[in-house]
Structure 1
Amino acid sequence: MRAPLLCVLVIQLLFLAGCSSNPPRDSGAAINVQISGDFAGSPEAKRFVQRMAQQHGFNPTETAAVISRAQRKQSIIDLMNQQAPSRSTGPNGAWTRYRAKFLTDDTIGNGVAFWQRNQAALQQAQSRYGVPPEYVIAIIGVETRFGGFVGKTRIIDALATLAFAYPRRADYFASELEAYLIMTRDEGVDPFQPRGSFAGAMGLGQFMPSSFHKYAVDLTGDGHRNLWDPADAIGSVANYFKGHGWQAGQAVAVRAQVQPGSNAGRLKTGFDTRYGVNELAAKGITPAGSLGGVTQVSLLQLDAKGGYEYWLGLPNFYVITRYNHSTYYAMAVHQLAQAIRARKGGVRLSASD
């Protein structure tokens, strides 16, 4: 994703050369800039330019020029409006359908191939961050099919549209646009070059710009953090897990045995629940395998075809949900990771196992 030398020099001129003439960062004086294009007349865009100048030393004229070239995409707004989750009133096999999107024989095989291609980087990341390769691979597999689908939307268009033309979450996306422009300045990247998801997620691991600043790493040692490079993406995902509390050597989830007559269906479930193991045992819910000494678990309910499945989520399961706040997402990552590990070890698990 690194820009050619000429492009890097242009970006440095745009974002660095004029910093000495900017108002002091603690100045509250209004900055008079002209924004043209799709965001002309947007007070939010003007305030954004002022904030970038005062807080980060960006040249306001050149920042306004970048915003003027960004495009408002109605398709992005439409896609955001479609994200509201639907609610189920009873068992309908939703987990079985969700799982089938990710746990296919092709996906498992491609995960093994990704492992083989990136063995050294995965081992380096595990040594440094304590995260097993299969979980890093599973995240990249679920997010972008191992880098095959990283998104085609210009990040600048996605973030500008959502920051200045999507009031419901404008503050969040304005902060992500802020983080993005800082990223492009720091990494010497043309802000119009990177492409990703319609919501502004980037690279093989689909990091938002704020996550880039907190967790992206330069695993290759070339002086740049490049989320489109497999090695840097691997290291960044592993560092994200470590930063959210991944416990090396610990399990992720264990299937629960539910005794007949148990009131499991009346208990609150989800990755954010907390139950004592003894408390659940008294209610007829016990682990089908070792918990590795963990005494506090979450109770997970999966709406599988043929009836509910119950699992016990351990702390590492909760870490996966920091990537996406969904029980189904985290379980898909966990089961895909296990299937990839088994296949690489010579155990031919099918997608339905």
Structure 2
Amino acid sequence: MQVLRGWAARQASWLGLASVFAAVQPALAADYDQAPQVAEFIAEMTRDYGFASEQLVDVFAQAERKQAILDAISRPAEKVKQWKDYRPIFITDARVAGGVKFWQEHEAALARAEAEYGVPPQVIVAIIGVETSYGGNTGSYRVVDALSTLAFDYPPRAPFFRKELREFLMLAREEQVDPLTLKGSYAGAMGLPQFMPSSFRAYAVDFDGDGHINIWTNPVDAIGSVASYFKRHGWQPGEPVVSSANVTGAQAEQGLTVGLDPVKNVGELRSLGWVSNDPLREDLPVTAFRLEGAEGREHWLGLPNFFVITRYNRSVMYAMAVNQLAELLVDARGTL
């Protein structure tokens, strides 16, 4: 990341850098510098959050509207894949090997994250592996372009992305980085763990103690930030994530959880024909779900740590992919 000292406090430095940048690259975008809604946003940021309007005028003079982003977010969602199709996308020999290598390279940081936050290394590595292949694909859009495009040109979710744009500008100010240099996904997710700006400001940590939080190119900060996120969302150290279940009887369908939040406990599900293959407390709330696997139907009980993973991405299959990749990483590391 390019560090810009005193982003908020020394406006002259900011404007001086912008002038140099403009001189070197004169053909800057002008997609948002005259837009009324951008002027309104700048006024809000100036009035409510202490920004200098000149700084933000300069940022939005250089922000670009990206049609590719609007195309991507407006594209009809693909038909939901079955688990037998979804799993092979993330559970591959290459991803397991890459995870073992990442674990070996950052063993000390991962061990410290577990000691401080209670989140095991394999889960942290699996999250980063599923999200970005250990930093191999963190996104190629400037975050300011992605968030500006969605905040000002995508009405269905404009309030959400306007909030994330506000959070992004505040994190750039706090971390003293040039907001025009940071890159991410088409939706504005950033770095190795793909945090949205609001998640960055709430959960990201300076895990290497250098005075800045850098989840883009600093795996140590990314590791600590994922662990921080999981702890803050209720990760229970030493507890399992899922339990397989045997399901029988005419009432079994009534046990399936609608959505992700657990609404029945183990005892209630047992009365409907769901029998866990592990000893679980009868009063433990769980998420009951069925997957169509390569070898047929699978029935699972998602435990509290499973629900924590779904807070990172609201998908049963995502959480299962993270969990199974984590298990394979432990096995592969043990065979070395």
TM-score after normalising by structure 1: 0.85
Q: What stretches of structure 1 of length at least 5 have no aligned partner?
A: 19-35, 88-92, 348-353
Cα 1:339–1:294, aligned 2, differ >3 Å: closer, same or farther?
Answer: farther
Q: Give the unaligned 5+ runs of structure 2.
A: 16-28
Question: 8 Å contact 2:265–2:282 — kept in the other structure?
Answer: no
| Structure 2 partner of 1:334 | 323
Report the AA paired with residue 249 of structure 1. Answer: G
Structural mapping, 1:218-233, within 5 Å:
218-228=206-216, 229-233=218-222
User: How much has 1:300 moved relative to structure 2?
Assistant: 1.5
Measured after TM superposition, the shift of residue 257 of structure 1 is 1.2
For residue 68 of structure 2, what is the aligned residue in structure 1?
75
Q: How much has 1:86 moved relative to structure 2?
A: 3.3
What code does the residue aligned with 2:10 have? L
Query: Structure 1 residues 144 and 309 mapped into 2: Cα distance closer, same or farther (>3 Å)?
Result: same
Match of 1:146 among 134, 138, 145: 134
Q: How does 1:166-205 map to 2 (within 5 A)?
A: 166-205=154-193
CA separation in 2, counterparts of 1:41 and 1:220? Answer: 41
Residues 293 and 335 of structure 1: CA distance in aligned 2, closer, same or farther (over 3 Å): farther
> Is the 1:204–1:233 contact (alpha carbons within 8 Å) kept by the matching residues of 2?
yes
Q: Take 1:162 and 1:198, find their aligned partners in 2: how far apart are those partners?
A: 9
From the superposition, tell whether residues 42 and 136 of structure 1 become closer, same or farther in structure 2 (CA, over 3 Å): same
Residue 277 of structure 1: how far off its partner (Å): 1.1
Larger deviation, residues 283-292 vs 117-126:
283-292
Query: How far is 1:211 from its partner?
Result: 0.5
From 263, 271, 276, give the equivalent of 1:274.
263
CA contact (8 A) 1:11 1:189 kept: no
What residue in structure 1 maps to residue 5 of structure 2? 8
* In the alignment, structure 1 residue 283 sits paired with structure 2 residue 280: no
Aligned residues: 321
Q: 1:15 to 1:308 in 2, by over 3 A?
A: farther
Q: What letter is aligned with 1:55?
A: D
Taking the aligned partners of 1:302 and 1:184, their CA distance within structure 2 comes to 42
- Counterparts of 1:183 and 1:171, CA distance in 2: 18
1:86-101 superposed matches below 5 A: 86=79, 94-101=82-89
Q: Using the alignment, how far apart are the partners of 2:43 and 2:7 within structure 1?
A: 21
Q: Do the aligned residues in 1 keep the contact of 2:184 with 2:190 (CA within 8 Å)?
A: yes
Asked whether 1:344 is paired with 2:328, we answer: no
What are the superposed Cα offsets for residues 147-192 of structure 1, whole Å, 9 maximum, x if unpaired? 1111111111001101111111111111111111111111111111
**Is residue 62 of structure 1 aligned with residue 49 of structure 2?**
no
- Report whether the alignment pairs 1:117 with 2:105: yes
**For 1:117-148, what per-residue CA distance to the aligned partner results, in whole angstroms no more than 9, with x for missing partners?**
00010011111100001000000000000011
Cα pair distance change 1:41/1:17, threshold 3 Å: closer
CA contact (8 A) 2:265 2:283 kept: no
SS at 1:164's partner residue?
A: helix
Q: Does 1:37 align with 2:37?
A: no
Q: Which one-letter code corresponds to 1:84 in the other structure? A: A
- Give the structure 1 partner of residue 23 of structure 2: none
